[in-house]
């Protein structure tokens, strides 16, 4: 069974992409821009997964996806990885 055709046993590639970006703290709008889809489509994919899992919020949905092995942990960047590096910050005299 291919996950994109029937995601009963896991997440589709698009659902993984959406959850990975939401897990990084991105908004639906930002996620949509990065993926080239509307924010409403981002929320459609998120709600589809949340309904399947029976979860009530983003955090619970992401934790459940990780727990079930549907969202590989290495796909989710940590806050430390997302934080600007010292040399990324412009020097202000």
Q: What domain range includes position 36?
A: 10-76
Tens digits of residue pLDDT in 20-64: 999 988 999 999 999 999 999 999 999 999 999 999 999 999 999
Is residue 93 one of the residues assigned to a domain? no
- How high is the pLDDT of residue 79? 58
**pLDDT exceeds cutoff 90 at 8:** no
- Contact residues for 75 (Cβ-Cβ < 8 A; gap 6+): 16, 20
Three-state secondary-structure class, residue 73: helix
Q: pTM of the prediction?
A: 0.73
- How high is the pLDDT of residue 74? 74
- Give the CATH number of the domain where residue 70 resides: 1.10.10.10
Say how many domains are in the chain. 1
Is residue 47 one of the residues assigned to a domain? yes
Is residue 21 one of the residues assigned to a domain? yes
Tell me the C-alpha distance between 61 and 54, whole Å: 8
């Amino acid at each position: 069974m291919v996950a994109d055709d029937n995601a009963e046993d896991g997440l589709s590639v698009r659902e993984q992409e959406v959850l990975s970006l939401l897990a990084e703290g991105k908004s639906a709008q930002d996620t949509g821009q990065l993926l080239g889809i509307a924010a409403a489509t981002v929320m459609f994919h998120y709600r589809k997964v949340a309904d399947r899992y029976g979860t009530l919020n983003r955090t619970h949905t992401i934790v459940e996806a990780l727990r079930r092995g549907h969202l590989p942990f290495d796909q989710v960047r940590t806050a430390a990885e997302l934080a600007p590096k010292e040399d990324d910050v412009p020097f202000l005299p």
